[in-house]
Amino acid sequence: MCINVFSLGNHPKYRFILAANRDEFYKRPSLPMGFHHPSGKILSGIDLEKGGTWLGLSTSGRFAMITNYRDPALIKPDALSRGNLVMDYLAGEMEAEEYLRQISLAAKNYNGFNFILGNLDNNPKLWYFSNISDETVKIPEGINGISNAFLNTPWPKMLRFKQAMQTAITGADISSQSLLKTLLDQQKAPENELPQTGIPLELEKVISSIFIETPNYGTVCSTVILIQHDGKAEIAEYVHQPQKTESHFTLNL
């Protein structure tokens, strides 16, 4: 699972604001956010099981993030790693639209995903692609989000998160700490509002909160990115599992 909500081009100080939770099995090993790529120009975490990443930003302003599409009936055990799609884009030079045209040719070799990528320079442009809908969309300005359905699918936690983002960006003070409060929200959705994604109702209820916590699965890290109109980017990562750590980075894009 995962949930990522972002504001693009609609804040007087920030051209881009992201608040994101990564949900995973606690036993799956990963490295926290850092400059792990050999180029030294990509800031991301690393999935040590498959080698890719779920979210990253390059020093040139290239940005990408991916979430799974939830439907157990569609899972292919021999599928390629989705995290490598993120890393390959961040490390390359291909424009986002061309990159999406290229990967769409082999998109069915992956399990279901939602992919957002583009450039967050002084004229930010982001694109969305899902290999389930086989649809490419230019992201409009404003507040958008992906979880484990399509772009802006109105699941209860997505609606709750987007409203919280709207409140945050219209307030006097926005920071990684203020957005973290929303990322830690464990309120569950009412049963009559839960989506039907092919998993048991009880499990659907457990994972209906923005922050998920179970004995062996849940939100393993939270990420906040704030990019000012002058190009200054502040990135914060809060790791919750397997142990709590906190990292902060500043880039000039």
pTM: 0.97
| Tens-place pLDDT, residues 153-188 | 999 999 999 999 999 998 878 999 999 999 999 999
Instruction: Print the SS3 string covering 136-196.
Output: EEECCCEEEEECCCCCCCCCHHHHHHHHHHHHHHCCCCCCHHHHHHHHCCCCCCCHHHCCC
What mean pLDDT is predicted for residues 69-96? 96
| CATH number, residue 148 | 3.60.60.10
Query: For position 173, what pLDDT does the model report?
Result: 82
For a pLDDT cut of 70, what percent of the chain falls above it? 100
Domain that includes residue 221, residue range: 2-252
Count of domains observed in the chain: 1
